[in-house]
Amino acid sequence: GVQVNVRMIAATNRDLKTMVREGRFREDLFYRLNVVRVHLPPLRERGADIQYLLEHFLHLYIQKFQKNLEGFSAESQQILLAYSYPGNVRELKNVVEFAVNVCSEVEIGVQHLPGYLKDAVDMEAEEVDFFENPRMTRSREEKSPGQATWTETEKEMILSALVRAKGKKQKAAELLGWGRSTLWRKMKHHRLTE
Give the pLDDT of residue 122.
Answer: 75
- The predicted model gives 125-142 an average pLDDT of 48
Sign of the CA dihedral running 105, 156, 147, 54: negative
- The predicted model gives 132-154 an average pLDDT of 52
Distance CA 37, CA 42 (A): 16
Nearest of 42, 25, 43 to residue 34 by alpha carbon = 25
Note whether 139 and 132 are within 8 A (CB): no
Q: What is the greatest pairwise CA distance in the chain?
A: 75
- The predicted model gives 128-144 an average pLDDT of 45
- Is 139's pLDDT higher than 50? no
Could you give the 3-state DSSP secondary structure of residue 5?
Answer: coil
- Is 144's pLDDT higher than 50? no
Give the pLDDT of residue 90.
Answer: 87
Interior angle at CA 91, CA 185 and CA 65, nearest 5: 70
Q: How far is CA 1 from the centre of its chain?
A: 47
Sign of the CA dihedral running 182, 183, 185, 189: positive
Range of 54-63, 81-90, 110-119 with top mean pLDDT? 54-63
